[in-house]
Chain A
Amino acid sequence: MISQTLGENGHHTAGQCEYLTLAFSPLSAPLRSRWRNNGLSADFLGDYVTTFLPADGNDSGAEKRQSQIRHAVTYIANELLENAMKYHERQTDIPIGIHLELGVDDISVSASNGVGFIKAEHYKSYVEDILKEDPADLIAKHMEGSATENEPNKSCLGLLTMMNDYGARLGWTFEVHPTYSGMMIVTTRAVLSLKSFPGVSA
């Protein structure tokens, strides 16, 4: 398997962005006790980003726009972390990471985790499919399908709602792990345009 990037490429020019990265060791605590930390981390990223985004002037919509950005970052960070925790290959010490990057025109949130080649290939095939179709239609299909399945595809709706409900552009990087044989580092990236939140500039 080779390294590959699909969809949105979120790299900013060096020096033109602020960023923050959190990393978690998958071996230090079981998944269930990690779960509460996902919410804390996501809330922190949402609060953190708004401190860099002063509203223009004193218009009455400023507070609402800040709230919209905070919520969008929190929702996306929470979904990406939940997926990274769920699908991370157990028993490896490849860290699970969440990365927030604030550029001039957009905000990027990405999460990375380690997976084996077979799971990575399945995920890649799945994201190639969702890039081809309308996310609103896929959400409806997912919901209708989940009504008859006991265990619906857990990551599916999170990615689709990021695109459809929050206007995020998604991208994925699949990298062969440099030392763990048969392992890849999968990074899922969601980019929000600041222009979609009128009145706010970095």
Chain B
Amino acid sequence: MKNINGDSYEIRLEEDKATISFKGALRLSGTDDYGPILEMLKGTLMNPAMPIVLDFRELDFLNSSGITMFSRFVIEARDRSGVNLHFLASEAIPWHARSLKNLQRLMPTLEIQMS
């Protein structure tokens, strides 16, 4: 288990399941500040046989720099063969339905499970 925590957010990687859970509000200021999170995400691509799950169901807020960071990860996942990427999202959190579709457009095989 690996964690990255900030004042307003918690990120938890369960390595045995290649699941990363996000909680709180991500409002970091740009590429440099999002770097450690992007590196954690990219680490899941080392074992492409396992489905990669990003759980956003408790991520209440994401700024556009955060959306850019996730787009970089999705493009990297798309450009490697055999990566199986899933997002878990919530209808109760408005940005999920509004913005995650932009990431799915980059990688049409990306599955978004809305609950």
Contacts and interface: CB of A to CB of B under 8 A. Distances in A.
Interface in B68-115: 68, 71-72, 75-76, 92-95, 98-99, 102-103, 105-106
A157 interface: yes
Contact of B95 (A39, A75, A146): A75
Given A35-B29, A39-B25, A166-B98, A147 B75 contact: yes
B99 A67 contact: no
Contact of A140 (B61, B92, B93, B102): B102
A114 B40 CA distance: 37
Contacts of B27: 35, 38-39, 78, 82
Sort chain A's interface into a size bin: 35 or more
A194 B76 CA distance: 38
A74 B25 CA distance: 12
Nearest to B8: A39
Nearest to B76: A147
A38 B7 CA distance: 14
Nearest to A70: B94
B23 to A, nearest CB: 15
Contacts of A158: 63-64
Nearest to B67: A157
Nearest to A36: B7
B21 interface: no
Contacts of B94: 67-68, 71-72
Nearest to A83: B64
B30 interface: yes
Nearest to A162: B64
A87 to B, nearest CB: 13
Q: Which of A39, A64, A74, A139 has the most CB of B within 10 A?
A: A139
Interface of B: 7-8, 25, 27, 29-31, 61, 63-65, 67-68, 71-72, 75-76, 92-95, 98-99, 102-103, 105-106
Which A-B residue pairs are the 10 nearest by beta carbons? A143-B71, A158-B64, A71-B94, A165-B98, A147-B75, A157-B64, A39-B27, A165-B99, A68-B94, A147-B72
